[in-house]
Amino acid sequence: MNNSPEEHTPDQKAALERLSVAQDNLVKSREAYEKAVEGLDAIKAYNETMKPLMAYYDNGWQADVTTTESIYERPEAAGEDEIWDMHGGQYELMRELLALSSQFFVRVPGEDSDEN
């Protein structure tokens, strides 16, 4: 039964409107998912690079900074404690991810509430 738009019932028109909105959200979700997968890969790489950096920071970085302080040109890693700032950024990023993911895992499909 392939009715023309003029022959659609009010229920059909309302359903088509909802499906159209869902279609728009589906397209946006696909794009966001691809970006999220790329972002997750970047976060994994970030964590892996931070492990040796923090191990060095905790075990020898300060001694190397002190030993080289009279040298004019040193690597950036010898400067203004950026390693610690990166670690703080990592902590904040993981905290935000945990907060977002916890919303997903405590939500029961079909029992959503708009009371939040």
pLDDT of residue 57: 92
For the entire predicted model, the pTM comes to: 0.68
**Per-residue tokens: 115:** 């009371």
**Per-residue tokens: 12:** 């059909």
pLDDT of residue 1: 56
Divide the 116 residues of the chain into consecutive groups of 10 and give the mean pLDDT of each group: 78 96 97 95 94 94 94 88 90 92 80 58
pLDDT of residue 112: 63
Q: CA dihedral defined by 83, 85, 90, 94, rounded to 10 degrees?
A: 160
- Residue 31, classified by CB atoms within 10 Å of its CB into exposed (0-12), middle (13-18) or buried (19+), is exposed
pLDDT of residue 113: 60
Of the candidates 99, 76, 86, 101, the one whose C-alpha atom is nearest the C-alpha of residue 47 is 86
Tally of helices (H runs) and strands (E runs) in the chain = 3, 0
pLDDT of residue 67: 95
pLDDT of residue 38: 96
